[in-house]
A and B are shown apart, each in its own frame.
Chain A
Amino acid sequence: MDDIKNLKERILESIVDLLGEYTFANGLKEKAIAVDIGGKYPPKNTKISGLECVIVPQSELSASWMLGSGVSLEVSHRIELKQWDEKPNRQLMIAVQRLVITFGSDLNVGPRLAPIDKLGNIESCSMIFTNYENRRLIRNG
């Protein structure tokens, strides 16, 4: 859990000025960055504006067989960027560039989805974050 908090802080440091806001039902506001499993956050009746960043912890799991005996198990986290502003802007592209610079090869950037009005799609991009601390070598025998 500490590595997720650490990841959130590093993301905040690099894109804090680009992030939008959550406005909760009680009127209080918060930077639009969240750690979420299963769509529980933000709570109901929260309005989201601007660029949102959602970290989905341990969303990906992959195993690869090593030479000899053993398996390398890799747990990765997904970082999703969503642009809720309807006016076209470059915030999401800039955020992706900054995150790539911050995390280097630990970050695997997925395709960017362009906004499509007719389908109600918003601009979004999802990335997979993996680092060495998330790799476990399991030996059999």
Chain B
Amino acid sequence: MPSPFASLENATLTFSLSSQSMEIDEWGNRLPVQEDLVVRCWLAVDSNGSFVGDYAMPGVDESEQTLKGYCIDPMFLPDLITHGSEAIAIIGSTKGRFILYRGLDGIATPVTGSSLKGVFRRQV
């Protein structure tokens, strides 16, 4: 069943995941090979957690915004993508980084797919 949010798609998140194979870097350290996982999704500003505008306080990075939405393709986020995972994000035509919060909000239902919540940091 396709995602009910398919018509709202406005963003792509590219997470990098550790694969089962290992590589050796220039200094001889062994580390997992990273593979890209591209998630097409719908993201919108979360009015509860945004720092923008009048709410900006000293020390708060105003280039950050809290976003909420749903995964479209794939509809379900794999468990390997954990709380705090970072993705390269393109939302509309804006590029930046997306840091995922995966708390209880992230519970998926068969109809909607996985919900998404996180902080978007604009590339400046």
Contact = CB atoms under 8 A, between A and B. Distances in A.
Contact of B19 (A5, A26, A45): A26
Size category, B interface: 10 to 19
Contact of A45 (B18, B22, B29, B30): B18
A113 interface: no
A1, A5, A34: residue with the most chain B Cβ atoms closer than 10 Å: A34
A45 B18 CA distance: 10
A35 interface: yes
Chain B interface, DSSP helix/strand/loop, else mixed? strand
Contacts of A8: 28
Contacts, number: 45
Contacts of A24: 18, 31-32
Contacts of A141: none
Contact of A41 (B17, B19, B25, B85): B25
B82 interface: yes
B68 to A, nearest CB: 24
B20 A35 contact: no
A37 to B, nearest CB: 8
Contacts of A44: 86
A57 interface: yes
Size category, A interface: 10 to 19
Contacts of A1: 26-27
Interface in A28-78: 28, 30, 34-37, 41-45, 57
A34 B27 CA distance: 8
A25 B29 contact: no
B33 to A, nearest CB: 9
A25 B17 CA distance: 8
Given A5-B28, A34-B27, A41-B25, 9 more contacts: A1-B26, A5-B27, A24-B32, A25-B32, A26-B32, A35-B29, A37-B27, A41-B27, A42-B31
7 contacts: A4-B28, A5-B27, A25-B18, A30-B30, A34-B29, A41-B31, A43-B32
Pairs A-B, 3 closest by C-beta atoms: A35-B27, A25-B18, A26-B18
Interface of A: 1, 4-5, 8, 24-26, 28, 30, 34-37, 41-45, 57
